[in-house]
Every structure is written in C-alpha cells, then in structure tokens.
Amino acid sequence: MNTEEIIKNIEPTKYYTVKAIADNGWILNKLGEKAKTRLDYIYKVIRRGSLPAKDVSILGKKKNHQYLVRGLDIIDFMRIYAVHDRAE
C-alpha cells in the first residue's frame, strides 16, 4: 500500500498515541520495516523533533513519556519521508 492510500485512514484533527501509530503501521523505519519493537523508531523521531507531539505525561516526569501526535503531523511526516512508497 502506498503512502497516499494509507493517509486516507488518518483523521488530520485527531490525536493518536504512539501505540496506535505503531499498530497501524503508519510510520516505518528508514528501510521500510517496522521497528524492532515497533515503538522505538516512533519515539526516536519524536525525541529528535522530526515528528511533533504533545507530551501528556503526568507531572512531566522524565521517564515514561506519553505522547499524542496529531493526525496532520503524521500525514506530513509520511509525505516527507515516503518510506511506504520505497518499501513496495
């Protein structure tokens, strides 16, 4: 499935958890594969600032961050990196 077909399943104004993003396979690693634990790569791109996200952790604890990512930001990320298109 190519990037544009996958994007049709993402609501631009809805916020998604990292787990939901991984479960849906929306963000793949650079090789077009799911990350080892499927969550690792998504957390990595959030921490690097490549994928904007809201930290909704209780009291902003430094460990166990919980992020919400807006659908539009997921779509933008997918279009920029187009990993799904290269994976086919």
Structure tokens given for 42 = 């998504």
Give the rounded percent of residues in the chain with a pLDDT score beyond 70: 74
- Token pair 């690097």 in the structure block, residue: 48
Residue 47, pLDDT > 80, answer yes
Contact call for residues 51 and 27 (beta carbons, < 8 A): yes
Q: What is the pTM of this model?
A: 0.82
Strand pairing category for 54-55 and 15-17 = unpaired
Q: Is the pLDDT of residue 61 over 80?
A: no
* pLDDT band at 16; cut points 50, 70, 90: very high
Q: Which two tokens stand for residue 28?
A: 């793949």
Residue 21 sits at the vertex; the CA angle it makes with 13 and 50, to the nearest 5 degrees, is: 80
Average pLDDT of span 35-58: 85
Task: Identify the band that residue 8 occupies on the pLDDT scale cut at 50, 70 and 90.
Answer: very high
